[in-house]
Amino acid sequence: MSHLEPLIADLALILICAGVMTLLFKSLKQPIVLGYIVAGFLASPNMPYMPSVTDMHGVHVWSEIGVIFLLFALGLEFSFKKILKMGAAPIIAALSIILCMMYVGACAGELFGWSRMDCIFLGGMLAMSSTTIIFKAFDDMGLRQERFAGLVLSVLIIEDILAIVLMVMLSTMAVSKEFEGTQMLNSMMTLGLYLVLWFTVGLYFIPLILRKIKHLMNDETLLIISLALCFGMVVAASAAGFSAAFGAFVMGSILAETIEAEQIEHLVAPVKNLFGAIFFVSVGMMVDVNLIIEYIVPIISIIAAVMLGQTILSTCGFLLSGQSLKTSMQCSFSLTQIGEFAFILATLGTSLGVTSDFLYPIVVAVSVFTTFTTPYMIRLAEPAYMMVARTLPAKWMARLERNKDESDEKAPDELQQMYDRCFKHFVFTMLINSVLCIAIMSIMYYYGQSLIASFVPEQWSHPITALVALILCAPFLWMLLRAGANSPEINKLWASGSHWRVRITAYGLLRILITAVFVSYFVNYAMPWSTWLGMFALVAIMFIIYYSSILEKKSNKLTKNFTDNLSAREQLKTQSHEGE
């Protein structure tokens, strides 16, 4: 008789339990995620009356892969352009909700005397509502087309992005065991640089590569290439000190801007469903009935904190973003649950060994209860609003019922709109090209110099490294210095009066200053730029960059390729709609 590996037997048990629970919960019209959690509990060593898994380490590895696929799929549904088009309201609401709920969660943990790290992780878990559960509830109740539903889904997208940032911050805090503001600021800056660098480089090269090999690809090869890119970014993110899930999300968001995004999403879905199921089953395995009974008071208290906190504080957050009271209450009552990211954060805290064992089953119990109550809370929003409307004074209601979309605020004039577009383009240009220059400099000085030093005398390694780095950065320095400076909109603003000329001149001087800082760094690396020779080299290089037609052509080509890649998916959709 052949020997069967325990990992295979465990997988069979997990999938059998998951399959049965999936059918059961589907027939009961309940979220399948809850079925996976129940299946995990049934297959865990905590359930003595059922067969249980034997290799928990193997299940843990599979669950980590599940997190990677879940975040990769989330990235494929994400769009930076979609975020920019949402406006300020969802961003203001999401930030308000997350900050308030994190504070509520941390205070709840403090109330029970838990450790500081337990309180911080609990706050993070309570701050994130469940995109999957809310999306399904809106779908089942026929509310997807309602205005408040669109606003809720926009807030959930922002929350998912901020959850990624929160994961990185909590990982940094957990590893360093410190809470210094300077260290957190450095981590956030590193995170921002990493995101901008990989998004820019990835969006430039990946669509180009996919176009070159398009004639060689079918569904199988596209799936393998997509997963290769995903796990390659996972390794890169881990090497940079970030979590594997963060790397998967970054690659998903890059591929989301390609014309193959929908096909990739379709191909990855079965793999994501398989490993995602294993992840949620592994969550259920952490449920310990004895711990739940022991911590029943904290569980009930946290459930109350989630439901009251979301209904009250989230309503305030939506009001702050300019929504009417009715819309704010409908939105806040829809967010009264915790879901996928709570499990991911709980897994993160457990894997890093910084949270207590009791926190995981508590969060699972809270999630299960709040998930069941989600449809009822959505239905309760309108009766609750009617009760509040009858209670509050008429003056308050008139003020709270304002609708930003129907306000008679004066729209900005044409010149102001033109200036706003130019300012956004200026910030975008400065950010992207500065990050690319910093990346090239870091690679050359950390890795390139040692390579160059192996071929030339040591005294020449610094000047040659600086020269090579300067040549590689030259197109981006030209964009820092001149991109968009002679656009029709800038010229029109310049001709419209001294008020606009002062602003344009200030931006021009700032561009010169930023470019000069980069160039002076290259010069200083090769020679002391404070000497007359160094000052001459600085001015000469700036002059060459400014007037170089070669750099202008190269920069325009790079910009065109990037913008074409960024808009390729939208153009394809437009063409398909026109064809119909």
pLDDT of the residue at 227: 92
pLDDT of the residue at 84: 61
- Give 9-31 as a DSSP string: HHHHHHHHHHHHHHHHHHHTT--
**5: left (phi > 0), else alpha (psi -120 to 50), else beta?**
beta
**328 CB neighbour count, 10 Å cutoff:** 25
Question: Cα separations (Å) of 298 from 45, 46, 122, 307, 569?
Answer: 24, 21, 12, 14, 48
Query: Do 389 and 368 touch, CB atoms closer than 8 A?
Result: no
As a whole number of angstroms, the distance between CA 521 and CA 529 comes to: 8
Nearest to 563 by CA among 295, 297, 207: 207
Query: Do 152 and 324 touch, CB atoms closer than 8 A?
Result: no
And the tokens for 4?
A: 């069967």
Query: Do 562 and 203 touch, CB atoms closer than 8 A?
Result: yes
Identify the three-state secondary structure at position 251: helix
For residue 556, which phi and psi values (nearest 5 degrees)?
A: -65, -40
pLDDT of the residue at 406: 42
Query: Do 125 and 362 touch, CB atoms closer than 8 A?
Result: no
Q: Name the CA dihedral angle for 189, 191, 197, 198, rounded to a multiple of 10 degrees.
A: 180
Query: Do 256 and 79 touch, CB atoms closer than 8 A?
Result: yes
Helices marked H in 112-146: 116-127, 131-141
pLDDT of the residue at 523: 84
As a whole number of angstroms, the distance between CA 13 and CA 479 comes to: 58
Nearest to 155 by CA among 76, 95, 195: 95
Query: Do 523 and 470 touch, CB atoms closer than 8 A?
Result: no
Kind and range of the H or E element at 496? none
- Give 437-469 as a DSSP string: HHHHHHHIIIIIHHHHHTTS-HHHHHHHHHHHH
Identify the three-state secondary structure at position 149: helix
- Give 263-292 as a DSSP string: HHHHHHHHHHHHHHHHHHHHHHHT--HHHH
pLDDT of the residue at 493: 82
Using N-to-C axis directions, what is the helix angle for 181-212 and 147-176, rounded to 10°?
120
Q: Name the CA dihedral angle for 326, 329, 332, 334, rounded to a multiple of 10 degrees.
A: -80
As a whole number of angstroms, the distance between CA 495 and CA 514 comes to: 26
User: Which value, in Å, is the radius of gyration of the alpha carbons in the chain?
Assistant: 27
| Amino acid in the structure at residue 485 | A
Averages of pLDDT over runs of 10 residues in the chain (580 residues) are: 71 89 84 82 79 79 84 77 67 85 88 86 85 71 76 79 75 62 64 76 83 85 92 86 80 85 88 85 79 87 90 86 84 84 80 80 83 83 86 76 48 71 81 85 82 80 85 88 81 80 85 88 72 80 87 84 72 60
